[in-house]
Amino acid sequence: MMGLVQLGFDVPALQRARIDDYLALSTATKQCQNWGYDRAVRYGDPIYTCSVISGTQCLNESVTLNYQCQGVALPASQPVY
């Protein structure tokens, strides 16, 4: 069984996408941990999709980042008495 996380965001018209790698990895890792995995690992390049083009300019762009969940998170160990 494999966990995949896709994070996406829209880019305002005439702006360039700026990806905060730390925030994106942190968000994906939290989702993976909610599913019982240990961590998230980004794979592939960001996917840029333009849905509205005017001339040579993209007026509505979205960016998708892909992460794979890896490792099995072990439950917190119980203290031994």
- pLDDT (tens digit per residue) in 5-49: 999 998 887 777 788 999 999 999 999 999 999 999 999 999 999
pLDDT at 52 over 60: yes
Q: Is residue 79 part of a domain?
A: no
Whether residue 77 is contained in a domain is answered as no
Q: In 3-state terms, the chain is what percent helix, strand and coil (to 5)? A: 15, 50, 35
Q: Is residue 81 part of a domain?
A: no
Instruction: Count other Cβ atoms within 10 Å, centred on residue 68.
Output: 17
Q: How many domains does the chain have?
A: 1
**Strands in 1-81 per DSSP E:** 3-11, 37-42, 47-54, 57-72
Query: Domain span at residue 65?
Result: 3-72
